[in-house]
Amino acid sequence: MTDRRAEAVAALKDRLGHAFRDPSLLEIALTHASVGEGAERDPRGRPFVDNQRFEFLGDRVLGLLVADTLVRDFPDADEGEMSARLHGLVDKAACARVADAIGVGPAMRLSPGEAKQGGRRREGVLGDAMEALLAAVWLDGGIDAARAVFDRVWAAELTAAPRRTLTNPKSALQEWALKQGKPLPTYRVVERTGSDHAPTFTVETEVAGLAPMQGRGRSRQDAEKAAATALLTREGAL
């Protein structure tokens, strides 16, 4: 760990407000899959562990905490309204905003290539790491610790005006393009990086007459959705 990263990790722990009894959980949550690049063991001969499993758990932890908060804070809201609010608070963009606000990017372990490509600012990388951090806190201190961290770092998202979100941005972009009298959007894979077990796709989408936009994701489909969302956002359709 470099001094600069050590300082970033220390600052992150202060913002989380949780003192880890097992610091290795925090380190796992901050380790991107690109660090191993397919390796089964780290330089010390230990099994290599990245934050993907923690992300899986953290996604469920976040969903539970948001649902519990919404039920408490909006006693008169129906299921549809709460579902819409929940989606806007747990999607990757929200997780990335929270991660950026508390300084997750500088504290992460990334491969040199991923870091050079802007991984510390990339929405998918930050969002995944934020979910992994919630999982690490849950594993270290249980539900009460996870709720305390959530209440602290998600406070701005909880008080912000609800943002419009899309469940199917590709369909939304198609409908928008047709309304503009344009042909259907096209998609193409620009780049595929990472190992076979943890690839990252970069996809470009284009609507005739408009500058293309790119999106990244762990699957081609996720990258296409990210690109569609980016184009809709730029054109003011979101």
For the annotated catalytic residues, the residue numbers are 59, 131
Q: How far apart are CA 114 and CA 122, in angstroms?
A: 10
Q: How far apart are CA 148 and CA 166, in angstroms?
A: 29
Return the SS3 of 19.
Answer: coil
Q: Cβ–Cβ contacts within 10 Å for residue 64, how many?
A: 15
**Hey, what are 95's tokens?**
């997780």
Report the side by side order of strands in the sheet with 198-206: 186-195, 198-206, 213-217
Q: How far apart are CA 229 and CA 119, in angstroms?
A: 19
